[in-house]
C-alpha cells in the first residue's frame, strides 16, 4: 500500500508540473493566444472620464466619409447626433444630413397599399448601404461587413500574462475602471495593416493585420493619411483617424456614459452624507444609554 501511495503521489506531482509548464508563457505557443493590444489614452476612460465632443464629431466624419460605404449604424438614430453627451451637432445640420443620406428609408404602405422610399428624418436610424445580409455578402465577395453600432462592446483586449499575475491584473482593471478594451482593439485593428512576414502566405482576397486574430481578414485597410480633411487643425494621420472613429464607435455603443458617470458620483456623495448622518444619529441616540 505504501508503494502504491508513493507512486500515486509521484504521478500527481508530475501531472501538476506538466500542467504548470504547459501554462507557462515561456513554453506556450504565441499562436495559442490573441495578439497583444497597446492601451491608448482616452478622454472617456476611468471613473471621471467624459467624451470629447470635438473628437466625436471628427469620428463621425470618418464614419460618414469612409466606414458608411460598407457598414451600417442601425442602433444609432440621427437624433442621437444632436443630443447632449454625444457629438452635439446643430439640429438643422443633422436634419439636412439625414435628408441627403444616400440610403433612403423604406416606409409605407401608402394610400394605395404600396411601400415606398423616402429620405431619412431625425427619428430614423443611420442605415448602411445594404438592405440585407445576402446583398452585403454578394457585394463583398462573401464577406459580411458587420453593423458598427455595438462593435466597441463586442470587441475587447485579450492579455496573456503569467497565471499567477492574472488576478492582480484583473483587480487593477477593476480599480482603474478599465472599460476601453473595444476602443483599444479597434484602434489597433485599423492601424495594424502591414506587409506579411516572408513565411506567411495570405489567402486570396485577404489582408494581413497584426491585431486581428489569425492575422488575415477580408477588409482592406480603410484609412490612409490625408484621406479626410479636418477643419479644426487636427493632424490628418492614420493614427488620429483610427482613434477618432474608435471614440465615436465607443459613444455609439454607450451613449449615456457621461450621464451615468455624473450620476454615479452624485450617488457616491449621497451615500457618504447619509453614512455620516446615520453615524451621528447613532452616537446621539446611544449616548443617553449607560453601558
CA distances from 283 to 66, 270, 271, 272, 291 (A): 64, 20, 18, 17, 13
Q: How far apart are CA 141 and CA 137, in angstroms?
A: 6
pLDDT at position 8: 38
| Phi, psi dihedral angles at 284 (to 5 degrees) | -70, -40
Instruction: Please state the pTM of the whole predicted model.
Output: 0.82
DSSP for 157-224, please give it.
Answer: ------TTTHHHHHHHHHHHT---HHHHHHHHHHT-B-PPPTT-PPPTT-EEBSSSTTSEESPPP---
How far is Cα 13 from Cα 117, in angstroms, rounded to an integer? 71
Q: pLDDT tens digits for 201-259? A: 999 989 999 999 889 999 999 999 888 999 888 999 999 999 999 999 999 999 999 99
Structure confidence at residue 80 (pLDDT) = 97
Give the chain's end-to-end CA distance (angstroms, integer): 63
DSSP collapsed to 3 states, 32-49: HCCCCCCCCCCCCCCCCC
Tell me, what's the pLDDT at 12?
A: 37
Where the chain has pLDDT below 70, the residues are 1-34, 291
Question: Cα–Cα–Cα angle for 70, 245, 208, nearest 5°?
Answer: 65
pLDDT computed for residue 138 by the predictor: 93
Neighbours of 101 (CB within 10 A): 18
CA 291 to chain centre: 58
The matching CATH number, chosen from 1.10.490.10, 3.60.130.10, 3.30.365.10, 1.10.760.10, for 32-274 is 1.10.760.10
- Report pLDDT for 164: 80
A 10 A CB-CB count for 135 gives: 11
Amino acid at each position: 500500500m505504501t508503494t502504491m501511495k508513493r507512486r500515486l503521489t509521484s504521478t500527481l506531482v508530475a501531472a501538476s508540473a506538466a500542467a504548470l509548464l504547459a501554462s507557462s508563457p515561456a513554453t506556450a505557443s504565441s499562436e495559442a493566444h490573441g495578439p497583444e493590444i497597446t492601451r491608448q489614452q482616452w478622454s472617456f476612460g476611468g471613473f471621471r472620464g467624459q467624451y470629447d465632443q470635438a473628437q466625436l464629431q471628427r469620428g463621425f466624419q470618418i464614419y460618414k466619409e469612409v466606414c458608411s460605404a460598407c457598414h451600417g449604424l442601425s442602433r444609432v438614430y440621427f437624433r442621437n447626433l444632436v443630443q447632449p453627451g454625444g457629438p452635439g451637432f446643430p439640429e438643422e445640420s443633422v436634419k439636412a444630413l439625414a435628408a441627403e443620406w444616400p440610403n433612403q428609408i423604406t416606409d409605407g404602405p401608402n394610400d394605395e397599399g404600396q411601400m415606398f422610399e423616402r429620405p431619412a428624418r431625425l427619428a430614423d436610424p443611420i442605415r448602411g448601404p445594404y438592405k440585407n445580409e445576402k446583398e452585403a455578402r454578394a457585394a463583398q465577395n462573401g464577406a459580411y461587413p458587420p453593423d458598427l453600432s455595438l462593435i466597441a462592446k463586442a470587441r475587447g483586449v485579450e492579455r496573456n500574462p503569467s497565471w499567477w499575475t492574472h488576478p492582480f491584473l484583473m483587480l487593477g482593471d477593476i480599480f482603474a475602471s478599465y472599460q476601453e478594451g473595444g476602443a483599444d482593439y479597434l484602434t489597433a485593428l485599423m492601424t495594424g495593416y502591414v506587409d506579411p512576414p516572408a513565411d506567411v502566405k495570405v489567402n486570396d482576397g485577404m489582408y494581413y493585420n497584426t491585431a486581428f486574430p489569425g492575422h488575415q481578414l477580408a477588409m482592406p485597410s480603410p484609412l490612409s493619411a490625408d484621406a479626410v480633411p479636418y477643419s479644426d487643425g487636427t493632424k490628418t494621420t492614420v493614427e488620429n483617424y483610427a482613434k477618432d472613429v474608435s471614440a465615436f464607435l465607443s459613444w455609439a455603443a454607450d451613449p449615456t456614459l457621461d450621464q451615468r458617470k455624473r450620476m454615479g458620483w452624485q450617488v457616491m456623495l449621497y451615500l457618504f452624507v447619509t453614512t455620516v448622518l446615520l453615524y451621528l444619529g447613532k452616537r446621539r441616540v446611544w449616548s443617553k444609554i449607560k453601558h
